[in-house]
């Protein structure tokens, strides 16, 4: 019997990505770019922040994706009274045997939806720092490694400013991408309205955790040349040189671009990364990491403008 080759693994991973996209599209109208980018994050084993106005389907997008992945899924509704133990769990005293037993919180799942993450105070938000970076939970001195794959998909509403707690930069930096879905196009919105009397279609799993892990390992086989690595370094360094910027891209930005560009190459049927992959991902990977001076914000400058200029300066457009 012939052993599967690296090419076979890449083809299988691409087929898994297509299956997931097809299942999500059965329930989500439009959002084709967002679906592709979320699957890219899955292949790259990265977390994503989805930010948008109310009613555009952020939560539906993530719940549909989780259903298509065939992984364990938990939704955490972030509120001002949410405690870290509500997320992580804790030791509960059992009177029957006069001992403490660990009650695992909702974070012990493959896919976590942190819904309206900016509605919880910083103490509760920080409960996800170790989880997102180390893929482990520490409860009263005991460290528990989480099952792989593990993803945090968070949503937040950027419009409201009362009763919300902006994410600190250390937390934002742990999200590989920030997606900002807008309103659907008129044809897509008409399709949405036409189907309003029908219940949402049930999505069957298109894959499972084992296949996702295999796909992630296949992504590691995508070739990224020294020239592309140098391009990523120049792009990250360029974001730190603008006088209007207080905080530029961190080294984690470069690492996320590296892994996500490999995943995007696989999605497009290639075995190597191109500069086009970096260009296509740069805005989504960097827009939440760039912090402008107050003067620049008053003048109307945006992080997107800084990133566009950095792309133009470092990549042949």
Which tokens belong to 194? 């036409």
Helix (H) or strand (E) holding 118: none
Distance CA 119, CA 157 (A): 9
Residue 112's CB is within 10 A of a number of other CB atoms, namely 27
Which of the four pLDDT bands, split at 50, 70 and 90, describes residue 120?
Answer: very high
241-277 per-position pLDDT tens digit: 999 999 999 999 999 999 999 999 999 999 999 999 9
Residue with tokens 């891209």: 249
pLDDT at 200: 80
Task: Compute the average pLDDT of residues 59-69.
Answer: 94
Distance CA 118, CA 163 (A): 9
pLDDT at 195: 79
Yes or no: say if 110 and 68 are a contact pair by the CB < 8 Å rule.
no
Which of the four pLDDT bands, split at 50, 70 and 90, describes residue 7?
Answer: confident
Positive/negative CA dihedral, 35, 49, 153, 9: positive
* Among the listed residues 21, 47, 35, 4, the one whose alpha carbon sits nearest the alpha carbon of residue 259: 47
Determine whether domain 222-317 maps to CATH 1.10.8.80: yes
42-55 per-position pLDDT tens digit: 999 999 999 998 88
Which of the four pLDDT bands, split at 50, 70 and 90, describes residue 207?
Answer: very high
When mean pLDDT is compared across 163-172, 222-231, 241-250, 263-272, the lowest value belongs to 163-172
pLDDT of 98 over the 90 cut: no
Burial 155-178 (b: 16+ CB within 10 A, else e): bbeeeeeeebbebeeebebbbbbb
In the predicted model, what is the mean pLDDT of the chain? Answer: 91
pLDDT of 284 over the 70 cut: yes
Which of the four pLDDT bands, split at 50, 70 and 90, describes residue 2?
Answer: very low
pLDDT at 142: 86
When mean pLDDT is compared across 41-55, 123-137, 157-171, the lowest value belongs to 157-171
pLDDT at 6: 65
pLDDT of 146 over the 50 cut: yes
Which of the four pLDDT bands, split at 50, 70 and 90, describes residue 150?
Answer: very high
DSSP 3-state percent helix, strand, coil across the chain (nearest 5): 45, 15, 35
Distance CA 17, CA 33 (A): 14
Distance CA 43, CA 45 (A): 6
pLDDT of 1 over the 60 cut: no
* Among the listed residues 271, 278, 307, 282, the one whose alpha carbon sits nearest the alpha carbon of residue 292: 307
Residue 140's CB is within 10 A of a number of other CB atoms, namely 8
Which of the four pLDDT bands, split at 50, 70 and 90, describes residue 315?
Answer: confident
Residues facing residue 148 across a β-bridge: none
Which tokens belong to 164? 């919300």
Distance CA 17, CA 83 (A): 36
Task: Compute the average pLDDT of residues 303-317.
Answer: 87
Which of the four pLDDT bands, split at 50, 70 and 90, describes residue 316?
Answer: low
């Amino acid at each position: 019997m012939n052993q599967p080759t690296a090419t076979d693994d890449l083809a299988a991973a691409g087929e898994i990505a297509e299956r997931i996209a097809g299942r999500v599209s059965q329930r989500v109208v439009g959002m084709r770019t967002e679906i592709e980018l979320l699957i890219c994050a899955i292949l790259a084993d990265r977390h994503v922040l989805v930010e948008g106005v109310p009613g555009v389907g952020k939560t539906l997008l993530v719940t549909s994706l989780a259903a298509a992945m065939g992984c364990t899924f938990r939704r955490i509704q972030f509120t001002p009274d949410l405690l870290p133990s509500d997320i992580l769990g804790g030791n509960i005293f059992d009177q029957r045997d006069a001992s403490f037993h660990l009650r695992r919180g909702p974070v012990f799942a493959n896919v976590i939806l942190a819904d309206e993450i900016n509605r919880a105070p910083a103490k509760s938000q920080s409960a996800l720092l170790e989880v997102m970076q180390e893929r482990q939970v520490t409860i009263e001195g005991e460290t528990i490694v989480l099952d792989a794959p593990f993803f945090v998909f968070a949503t937040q509403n950027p419009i409201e400013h009362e009763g919300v707690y902006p994410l600190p930069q250390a937390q934002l930096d742990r999200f590989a991408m920030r997606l900002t879905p807008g309103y659907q196009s008129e044809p897509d919105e008409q399709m949405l309205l036409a189907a309003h009397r029908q219940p949402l279609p049930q999505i069957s799993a298109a894959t499972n955790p084992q296949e996702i892990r295999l796909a992630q390992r296949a992504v590691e086989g995508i070739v990224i040349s020294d020239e592309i690595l140098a391009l990523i370094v120049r792009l990250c360094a360029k974001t730190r040189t603008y006088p209007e910027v207080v905080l530029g891209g961190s080294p984690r930005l470069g690492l996320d671009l590296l892994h996500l560009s490999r995943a995007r190459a696989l999605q497009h049927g290639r075995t190597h990364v191109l500069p086009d992959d970096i260009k296509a991902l740069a805005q989504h990977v960097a827009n939440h990491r760039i912090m402008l001076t107050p003067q620049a914000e008053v003048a109307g400058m945006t992080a997107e403008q800084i990133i566009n200029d950095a792309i133009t300066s470092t990549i042949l457009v």
